[in-house]
Structure 1
């Protein structure tokens, strides 16, 4: 009987969570400006919006992490990177790197040598490859605000950061009551908000953990050339191309003079 009750409660909790993730964003009828997050089933991620302060629906979360945990699909890498880096109960003093989801960057910490979370890496580079490529970049809160022309009737070309499209776009500003996501030039907008994705050509070569022997190509940042390596068939990273030509096309802007056979 207790087991059936527990299953029923779990099912109800899951159903409530899924229901919260389904509705469209609804700021409600009130006029407050409360930064919140909602899950976009179209974008398959959590996005920011301004909540009016009353009514609306359940697709309304105070933090990005709360929305992500409730609604967004997570990979093993994401679960690992979202965990808090932990020293563990042992007394070792190993220097490790963990991803700080609040700051959106990898930070050094001291690991005791046992237990703790899986959010630990031997180098900063490996931490960034695993976490910064899989997780959304945490922007300045100003960049998460929607386009806002304001109540005035002026005509001032400005730029704002479109968090859905991940780019800076022009809009017409009325001239008063800016919400901050308002820049005079596109360069100013990019400097504040735009973050380029991790460049796959700079990833170190990684054969992966499996046992296959597949000939692939990777870009070598030391020799400035595409080179052959043996891929195991699983894991690894995106600096992995089936042909030399595909590697060259993707990474040519980094290349030096490449000798050809």
Structure 2
């Protein structure tokens, strides 16, 4: 995974996910996930947790939604998100995971 704004002693630091993948992966394996906005599509199920990587905060964030995740930046768990998008210890990072504040706002009917 790429890291920005870090001090370090090796060359495995990249300014973006795209640059990291271009250097480290063959073209057929390059797929942006962590740096793209999460996408939700219609789904007919009960509410469930979906996790996405918030590039601005560098944290995985939970969304409670009745929509289905259709984008690459969608993970079934905090651990899966953290392992895919950071070099942090998933267990520790997920204990401190930040829920999406919109989860707690009243929903307005359409």
In the superposition, the TM-score normalised over structure 2's length comes to 0.55
- C-alpha distance in 2, partners of 1:62/1:69? 12
Name the SS for the 1:21 alignment partner. Answer: coil
- Residue in structure 1 matched with residue 81 of structure 2 by the alignment: 67
CA displacement, residues 25-56 of structure 1 (integer Å, 9 cap, x when unaligned): 22323364220110111111211113434363
C-alpha deviation, 1:69, in angstroms: 1.2
Higher Rg of the two aligned structures = 1
The TM-score, its normalising length taken from structure 1, stands at 0.26
Unaligned ranges ≥5, structure 2: 1-24
CA distance in 1, matches of 2:94, 2:71: 26
The CA RMSD measured in Å over matched residues stands at 3.0
Q: Choose from 57, 72, 95 the match for 1:58.
A: 72
Aligned in 2, Cα 1:67/1:55: closer, same or farther, shift over 3 Å? closer
Residue segments in structure 1 that go unaligned for 5+ positions in a row: 1-9, 83-100, 102-134, 153-261
Partners of 2:58 and 2:96 in 1: CA distance: 18
Which of 37, 50, 63 does residue 51 from structure 2 map onto? 37
- Matching residue of 2:10: none
- Spell out the pairing of 1:166-185 with structure 2 (5 A cutoff): none
